[in-house]
Structure 1
Amino acid sequence: MTGGLPIRQVAFFVEDVRAAARAHHEAFGSGPFFVADNIPLARAVHRGVERELDHTSAYGQWGEVMVEFVAQNNPGPSPFRDLYPEGSGRWGMHHVAIFVDDVDAELAKFAARGAPCALRAEMNDGFVFAFADTTATMGLFAELYAPTKTLVDFYAMVAQAAKDYRGSDPIHTIRMT
C-alpha cells in the first residue's frame, strides 16, 4: 500500500509520556526525548465525526527510527481509544508513521484496500496528518504525513540530538503551535 516507503516512526500509546520515555531511554538508550504537551489541533475528524483530540507526545530517536510516546489528555473516542479503549488500562504499540506525497490521495488508496480513514487532523499551521485503520491486517494504525520542511527539520533535529547526547536529562519540554 505504501509503495515500499520506509517506516519513519514507531509510536506507543501510553498513560504518561515522560515516564514511558524515561523507561525506554533506560532500557534501550533511546532519546533524548522532546515532549510537546497539549498539541494544538485546528481540526480533528475521527471516523467522520469532528471531535476534540487533546494529546501529548514525546519524540526521541531509537537507532535509525524515531520513537513516539503519545497520551490522550481528554476523554472520548479517538484512534488511540479505538485500539486501547478508555478505562481498559491497556497500553502499547499504536502506529507506524510514513511520509507520503499526498495524504488524502494515500488515504484513498488505503481505504480502497479496506483500511479506512480513522483520523484526519490539521494542526494550527495547516500541517495535516492522518491515521489509516490497518489494524485488521497489521494490528496497528498507519500514520501518514507529507514531508514538509518543518517536519523534515524536526526529524533531523531529533536525530542530531541523539548523536550529540552526552547523558544529561533525557526529557526536554518543547512547544508546538
Structure 2
Amino acid sequence: MHGPVPAAWLLVALCAATGAYCLLRMRSAVQEQRRAAGGEALMGFGMAVMAVPAAVFTPPRWAWPLYAAVFGAAALRALWSARSTPHHLHHLVGTAAMVYMSAAMAAAPPGAHHEHGGLGVPPLTGALLVYFTGYVLHSGARLVPAAVAVAGSGPVRWGDRPELARVCRLSMGIGMVAMLLAM
C-alpha cells in the first residue's frame, strides 16, 4: 500500500481516527454494537499500520504473514458471527481483503510493491475494488438522513450514535479502496 507519501499519511490518519472512535464505541451498552466495534477497531488500526509510507517504515518480511494470521483469525470470527448477523458478512469481506493484501505484500519481492509486472489489475483485486466502491457509494447514500437519537430515549452516548458508526464504516471502506488502488 505504498502510494504517494501525503496520501499515505492522510490514510494513516483516517484509519487511526476510525480505529480510535471504534474503541470508544466498544463502551456501548449494546452487546452487538460492542462486538462489531471491536472488529472495526482492529480493521482501522490494521489499515493504519499497513498504510504507513514505505519511506518511513518498511515492516520486516516476517510481519506480513503475521498480519495475514491476525486478519485470518478475525475473518474466522466474522464468519462465525455472520451466522446470526448478516452485517458480519461485510466484516468477513474486509478481513479477507486484509489477508489478501498481507499475503500479496509477503509474496512481493522487496521494493516492488507497486508493480504488477505489466499484467494489469489482478482479478481478485478488481473484484474487491468493485465491492468496496459499491459499499462506499451505498454507505454514503445511507448517511444522508441518519437518525441522531431514538425518540424518547434521551441523549445518545458517543459510542451509540448510529450516524457516527456509519461514518466509521464508510471511512474504512474509503480507506480500503485507496489501499487496493495502491497495491
Tell me the TM-score normalized by structure 2: 0.23
Higher strand content, 1 or 2: 1
Higher helix content, 1 or 2: 2
